[in-house]
Each structure stands twice: as C-alpha cells, then as structure tokens.
Amino acid sequence: MYRFIYFTDSMKIHATYCSAEKSNAPGKIPAIERYTSRRIQWVNKRAQRQGEAFFIVSGKYGLIKVEEEIAYYDYLLKNDALKEHIQLLSRQLSNLGIQQVTFFARPISIDPNILPYLKSIEEACRMGQVSLELLEEDFEG
C-alpha cells in the first residue's frame, strides 16, 4: 500500500503518465528514481521551477507523488481497465484536494499507448470538476 501526502489547501499539480523506462533496482525506491524517462525528468524540473507538486499517473497505482517509494513493476494501462482506473484517480484527486492539473504528454500520433492514460485523467478530472490543461510535446526530440 502506498501512502499519499495529503494537502489541506486546494492545489495545482503537474502530472504525466508513467514510463516503461524504469530502473530495475531492487526493493522500493522513490518514483522519480524508478522512472527514468526523459519526459518524467523534464516535467519534474518544470514542476519544481513552478513551485508545484508533481505526480506520475501510474496505470497500476493511480497518482504517485515523485517522493513515494515504489517497487519495480511492468504494467500498461489498457482500455479494459479504464473504469476502475478513472474511479481510482477521481478518489485520489478529491482526497488530495487537487483543483488543477497540468498534464504533459507526447502526441498520441507518436505514442498511441498513452491514449488510455489520457482518457483516464480527462474523465477523472471531469468527474471531480478539476481543471485540466493538456500540454503535448515530443520530449524525445
């Protein structure tokens, strides 16, 4: 079970989806060290500059704060798991008091595997009346 840091004030966050690029270090390590993709590192630095919390949207665990320690796993969110994932994200957004999400993604034309993650965050934000800004960029270029 993962523990989440709960904030009392409404807040804005930066977020992006998880990555297949992971450290295979044994045991649990902070999510920012587990996920090694260029995109995640870039969004983390931007969030720090903006003074906002940064969360990774995991297909398996939902919202993960970058400081949270997680074990290695390999899971790609698919359409058949969307309903449960949307409900999980919606609960987490509400429990954390998140009012605005700036979500960073590669274009679907470059990576079609992210579509379930986009659908999930869009619907969870809609359900919770959370403002969502989607920013697409090719982080590999």
Q: Kindly report the number of other CB atoms within 10 A of residue 91's CB atom.
A: 15
Percent of the residues in the chain that have a pLDDT greater than 90, as a whole number: 86
The string over 56-68, giving b where at least 16 C-beta atoms fall within 10 Å of a residue's C-beta and e elsewhere, is: bbbbebbbbbbeb
Give Cβ neighbours of residue 6 (< 8 Å, ≥ 6 apart).
95, 96, 97
Q: pTM of this prediction? A: 0.89
Classified as helix, coil or strand, 10 is coil
**CA pair distance 84, 26, nearest whole angstrom:** 28
CATH class of 11-136: alpha beta
Instruction: Return d(Cα 95, Cα 72) in angstroms, integer.
Output: 25
Contact 41, 131 (CB under 8 A): no
Question: What is the greatest pairwise CA distance in the chain?
Answer: 39
pLDDT value for 139: 74
Taking the C-alpha atoms of residue 41 and residue 63, their distance in angstroms, rounded to an integer, is 16
- Give the Cα separation of 141 and 138 in Å (integer): 6
Opening angle at CA 75, ends 74 and 77, nearest 5: 160
pLDDT at residue 1 greater than cutoff 50: no
In the predicted model, what is the mean pLDDT of residues 50-55? 94
At 84 the pLDDT is: 97
* Confidence at 130, pLDDT banded by 50, 70, 90: very high
pLDDT of residue 72: 95
- At 65-104, the pLDDT tens digits run 999 999 999 999 999 999 999 999 999 999 999 999 999 9
Inform me whether the pLDDT recorded for 51 exceeds 80: yes
